[in-house]
Chains A and B, each alone.
Chain A
Amino acid sequence: MNRRTKTVLAAALAGVLLVGTAGAAFAFQADAAASLRASGQVGEQADGYLGVVGSAPAGVRAQVDSVNIKRRAYYTDLAAKRGAKIEEVAATTACELLRTKVAPGQFYRGTDGTWQKRDGSPVPLPAYCG
């Protein structure tokens, strides 16, 4: 095997590894927020972002940050389109997420700042949610 062949093989291997990693990352993204909520370590907040319940491992916190950065980008985009504030879009989204995405046994954080575990009844919504 000469040097050139080795280089080509190494490049091919690197390519396969890259595609594999990207695939894994994509598979994670498909239901990232839902699986984080289901883990019991993460909950929905009244401000429209995910939050860490108690002390979660650094890996979980990194995933939460990654989801929140994407949310922030969507909120910013929509706020610009509708001439609203980012916080207004975020809070409106929170109303919807608290209403539809927090399953019984999962955590949410209302405007009082305390973490609550949803029981059988719906999540109590902030007054402005309507």
Chain B
Amino acid sequence: MTSPILTRLRPSATQGAMRRAKLLLLAPALVSTAGCVQVSAPDKPIEINLNINIRQEVVVRLQEDVRDLIEKNPGVF
């Protein structure tokens, strides 16, 4: 009377093992996606670049607007 129950149990046990194995295979993929997300999230909102290549005539052209901008936004500048 016990043998039919055992035979019924066996396949499901194998399926469980298969499921675990699939999960194990998936795990590295999940870890690598999580890694990608972490890399793409910047810890600083603005990239500081001090290597500025700019011509003086551009500075002269923008100077008046910039003075105005600074004057009107004392908290930010």
Q: What are the interface flags for A62-89 relative to B under an 8 Å C-beta threshold, 1 for contact and 0 otherwise?
A: 0001011111101000100110100111
Minimum CB–CB distance for A15 against chain B, Å: 25
Q: How many residues of A contact B (CB 8 A)?
A: 43
Instruction: Return chain B residues, CB-CB under 8 Å to A72.
Output: 46
Minimum CB–CB distance for A43 against chain B, Å: 12
Binding site for B on A (CB under 8 A): 29-34, 45-47, 49, 51, 65, 67-72, 74, 78, 81-82, 84, 87-89, 91-93, 95-97, 100-101, 109, 111-113, 126-130
Instruction: Return chain B residues, CB-CB under 8 Å to A51.
Output: 48
Q: What are the interface flags for B52-68 relative to A under an 8 Å C-beta threshold, 1 for contact and 0 otherwise?
A: 10111011111101110
B77 touches A68 (CB 8 A): no
* Beta-carbon nearest neighbor of A71 in chain B: B76
B73 touches A130 (CB 8 A): no
Binding site for A on B (CB under 8 A): 44-46, 48-52, 54-56, 58-63, 65-67, 69-70, 73-77
Kindly list the 7 A-B residue pairs having the minimum CB-CB distance in the complex, ordered from nearest: A92-B62, A29-B75, A70-B76, A32-B75, A92-B59, A130-B56, A91-B52
Contact residues of B: prevailing secondary structure: loop
A87 touches B49 (CB 8 A): yes
Q: How far is the CA of A130 from the CA of B57 in the complex (A)?
A: 9
Minimum CB–CB distance for A82 against chain B, Å: 6
B59 touches A65 (CB 8 A): no
